[in-house]
Chains A and B, each alone.
Chain A
Amino acid sequence: MSLDPHPNLTSSVIFGLGWLYLIQFVMNFAWTWRSLKKGTHHRVPKFFGGGEVPVAMWWGMYTALLSMVMIAHFTGFSSPERFLIQLPGWFKFFVDSFIADAKWYFGFCVGAFGLMIWFRRVLATETAGWLMLNGGVLFLTLSLTDWDFRQIVGKPDNVPIVAMLFIVGYFTWLYFNRSNENDDRIEAGLPPKEAEDNEKVLVWPDLVYTELICMIAVTAFLFFWGVALQAPLEEPASAVKTPNPSKAPWYFLGLQEMLVYYDPWLAGVVFPSVILGGMMAIPYIDFNKRGNGYYTFNERKFAVSVFMFGFLPLWVGMIVLGTFLRGPNWNIFGIYEYWDVHKLEALNNVNLSEYFWLYGLNTAMPTPASTDSGMRILGMILLRESPGILLTLGYLIAMPSIMAMTFLKQYAFRMGFIRFMVFSNLILMMAALPIKMLLRWAFNLKYLVAVPEYFFNI
């Protein structure tokens, strides 16, 4: 018996992982079969003797490896202390030291997003998709050998988020896969694929039957889920007691993450409304008639990239950050790191006005005297916060015209004044989150405009 209270491996864990490997084995067995049927070959480099080998051979080898690993799990689970297949410590350390830092995490998200767009031709092929799926499942399986990872990923309320990651990945892949095909066709002067086989189906029975079957299947699945995974109920709510960490429902974790950088009235009221209103405004802003009813990337590069940037790194990425990385006291923890309540993270934050008056000008902040009248107090506050106010106004007023004169010239021209103003302000609002994050990480900047007297901070 192990004395470790947080053992990385136990018999039941090893046995359970055996099932995960079994699933991967079956998956890849089918894939090997498919590859064999297709009969694709590829050349072996001269150095290894030249000639051609079937692609299925590689898949077969991987499948065989998986089967051996699976057998090892199903036979060796009785002695977890001597079980060898688990994540090496250096790997965990390496991953943790990057991911447990918001800068790196966010940089990674944005970088991955850029790479995805850049290499969409390669990544959206079937083979690449299969490799990524395999990689994701294998990473999950291996990571589950870590106690801390299991604590957070295995929580019943985090199961849908893990599922969501795979689903989001699949649909993104699907989108690029289809658009690549259509983009090729359009380039060759052909109509998009969807225009060619517009096979119409009947509402009854085709559609209604499908819907009925889906309804039943989903209901059955929810029943199964409800029985298999218990609802994570907590102690009764109390106004003077907050669980640590205290997390919003998973789909709101993006908003909660926003609250770290912005005042509640902005992150909790203004930004969510702008997100909702902005999404509704998209059809009225969009003047590009192409891409209607078929998948395409090349014909709507800007629209798709902007939307995806808002959705993938800024929304899904923040959900992942909030779910898996935020721990006690809302500190960031690595995925293999113990949730230590006493983890120390220095986060001394300074307002822009303090930077400006105290450090920049080396004078005292303009402070209203206690005898001052209301108007004078307001004037003093405005003077104190003037750098931030000017910056913010400049951002919202000057930036649209700069954008219209430089890289969005075409858009400004085609949209007209009002539409372009709405459009550019929506873009600026969206960009405000990463900008504020960068400022926080780079300069420990708390608020650009800080008027705590009137609960107004930006």
Chain B
Amino acid sequence: MAKKLTTEEILKMSRANKADQSDTAPAEPAAGAAAPAEDSAPAKEPAKPAAAPKGAADIMAAIRAKGAGGAEASSGKPEAKPAAAAAPKSPADIMAAIRGKGAGAAPAAAKPAAKKATAEASAGNLPPVGEMLAQLKAGKKPAAVEAPAKPTLKLPTRPAPKVAPQPTRRAFLLDVLLSPFALAWTVLAATTGAWVLMLARFMFPNMIVEPPTSFKIGPPSDFPLGTVSTKYTAANGIWIVHTNQYKGKDLIYVLASVCTHLGCTPSWLEGEQKFKCPCHGSGFYINGMNFEGPAPRPLERVGVALSSDGTLEVDKSVKFQEEKGQWEDAKSFVDGSIA
């Protein structure tokens, strides 16, 4: 490999090539001269014009011929031949020849060069507008008509199309299933399906199912005077209070374990005999009255009644607020003397 064409050189060449397309006539002898430089091709007027190149196009052609020939003698030669043979006939042929040479030089040069060259070669099937215009100006027929088949198309460097064997039914099915198109759709469908399933799962969160609002808590004797039962706090959010500290009456009632400030769950402190909220420090007496911290209202009572079997039944669906006078409601307590 004597000389590799860099990408820049190739670009320069193709640019120069385009600029000189209007001036195709001088390229005629040049192409003819360039080819014989390699071997004695049947050109009509070989030596003289080559000695004194007339314009940039000539130089380009020469360079290209050299590049093709010098870079890879074995592949350059056979290509140069048909190009040179076709050369004298028309400018289109010359163009094709140049292109063919370019293509021949390319594989020897570098990958980008190869790309460029093949791109050019395939584009050569329909000459660019500029080229056609130039030919019209020169008073000739458009190249596309005259040169339907390019030498490039017959180049041995292009792989021959594979002859697909007659597919069996199974192989055909496999082909379809493994085609990128089918794969993409399958993946999309699978993802969407999983997503929909997840969405469905989301509708059933992992949570404790809301306990019934009405339930039995046992006989009154379970709750002796002066006690607060926290037995149902964790599950149902209530305290069962038996006290005589609300207006001096002996009552059993049920308080909702929700702080009236911002809804945290206070804790019952046995030693201090008070409910104390861990969030902002509100405190409530055993009877539910607020006395410290920011809570503006007493704790709320829920409904309680003695059911027919002698046990207490709590109804959480009703609330009784002290500040509204609702603690007088008979449904909000039971008489403590039955305990």
Which residues of A are in contact with B by a Cβ distance under 8 Å? 238-246, 256, 259-264, 268, 328-331, 341-342, 344, 346-349, 370, 446-447, 450, 452-453, 455, 457
Contact = CB atoms under 8 A, between A and B. Distances in A.
26 contacts: A240-B237, A241-B234, A242-B264, A242-B277, A245-B279, A246-B278, A246-B279, A256-B280, A259-B280, A260-B293, A261-B294, A264-B261, A328-B278, A329-B269, A329-B278, A329-B281, A330-B279, A330-B281, A331-B281, A342-B272, A347-B293, A349-B292, A349-B293, A446-B296, A447-B296, A457-B296
A245 B279 CA distance: 6
B262 to A, nearest CB: 5
Interface string B229-269: 00001111100000000000000000001001110111101
Contacts of B294: 259-263, 446
A251 B94 CA distance: 79
Contacts of A450: 296
Interface in B37-66: none
Interface residues of B, number: 33
A103 to B, nearest CB: 15
Interface in B90-130: none
Interface in B182-241: 208, 233-237
A44 B21 CA distance: 95
Given A244-B267, A328-B278, A348 B297 contact: no
Interface of B: 208, 233-237, 257, 260-262, 264-267, 269, 271-272, 276-281, 283, 291-294, 296-297, 323-325
Given A450-B296, A452-B297, A455-B296, 9 more contacts: A242-B266, A262-B294, A264-B262, A268-B262, A331-B281, A349-B291, A446-B294, A452-B296, A453-B323
A69 B291 CA distance: 51
Contact of A240 (B236, B269, B280, B297): B236
A373 to B, nearest CB: 15
Nearest to A263: B296
A388 B236 CA distance: 39
A139 to B, nearest CB: 28
A114 B291 CA distance: 35
A330 B257 contact: no
A447 to B, nearest CB: 7
Nearest to A244: B278
A370 B325 contact: yes
Contacts of A328: 278
A259 B257 contact: no
B276 A329 contact: yes
